[in-house]
Amino acid sequence: MSGTRRTDEAAGALILIGGACSARGEALATFVRMAHAEDGGRIVGLTTASMDPTGSAVAWKNDFAIAGARNTEFPIVDRRARAQDDRIAEKVRTADGIFLGGGDQVQLVATIGGSKVGNAIREAYHRGAIVCGTSAGAAALTETILAGGEPDESGTAIDMHIGPGLALLGFHSMIDTHFAERRRLHRLFVAIAGNPELMGLGIDEDTALVVQGHLGAVVGAGGVTFVDGRGVRFDNADEVKQGGQLTLSYLRVGIVGNGYVLNLRERELEALVRAREEGEETPSVLGEEARA
């Protein structure tokens, strides 16, 4: 069965957007282009994560029309029963592109995870569909999701949630979105300190990490920060849970800009991985040659 294949062996691609994507921006345009939506490729969108799924669906249909998509459909999947609807699952399974909008990633995973619609997303991805998520929609696509861990709009502290996601993106990764704009580096540090085997991916707004196989290319207005906790020699993650200040040593952090490629297996710039494989002490492939 295709569902048992490794995530980096899927025939499709993932487009992970950090939220606030412009209808005319490079991040959304990349999804439209890869799904052949300008030529009639069919996009099925889900606004399950939103507090107003119907209103969000209307807004996204308009944005996709501006972006040049000619054939979009947004079935409303606002509860578990609809996630088990065979007709909606079939629409998703046969789509050229699947889009997951923003909102609450915990709600999204709870509603469609393990459902017929959720399974259809995975089947479509392994078949070759392009799966795009923005904000919560991107965060939900990893094996492990991150939510909370910062004050809400009223200033009330929200406990950090770390739990299972939809697992289309492997590599023991975790995604944080609106990254630079909401100053979430510290939140991701705390999450990785408590789960040092994971790799954190902080994606800026209107920016996408386009993943094909084990390589992720950055496109759009910002960058992608990666945080690798495997080499951490000291952390006080347990104290932080009790309100203490975070202390970490030997945490690897990097930033990948527009046009550069991250090797998700190696947790390193692909240019540096290639240079190492070729035995170069200092990679001459940097600069323009390092770009996607």
- Residue 282: predicted pLDDT: 56
Q: Which of 50, 56, 115, 135 is catalytic?
A: 135
Q: Which of 178, 181, 266, 268 is catalytic?
A: 178
Mapping DSSP to helix (H, G, I), strand (E, B) and coil, where does residue 159 land? coil
Token digits of residue 66: 């501006």
CB 74, CB 50: distance < 8 Å: no
pLDDT values of the chain reduced to their tens digit, one per residue, 292 residues: 334 445 677 999 999 999 999 999 999 999 999 999 999 999 999 999 999 999 999 999 999 999 999 999 999 999 999 999 999 999 999 999 999 999 999 999 999 999 999 999 999 999 999 999 999 999 999 999 999 999 888 888 889 999 999 999 999 999 999 999 999 999 999 999 999 999 999 999 999 999 999 999 999 999 999 999 999 999 998 888 777 899 999 999 999 999 999 999 999 999 999 999 988 765 555 555 556 6
pTM of the model: 0.93
- Residue 4: predicted pLDDT: 42
> How many other C-beta atoms lie within 10 A of the C-beta of residue 90?
13
Q: Which of 173, 205, 214, 270 is catalytic?
A: 205
CATH superfamily of the 9-259 domain: Class I glutamine amidotransferase (GATase) domain (3.40.50.880)
Q: What is the pLDDT of residues 11-65, one digit of tens each?
A: 999 999 999 999 999 999 999 999 999 999 999 999 999 999 999 999 999 999 9
Q: For the chain, what are the domain ranges?
A: 9-259
Secondary structure tally for the chain: helices H, strands E: 10, 17
* Residue 202, phi then psi, degrees to nearest 5: -100, 115
Among this protein's residues, is 178 annotated catalytic? Answer: yes
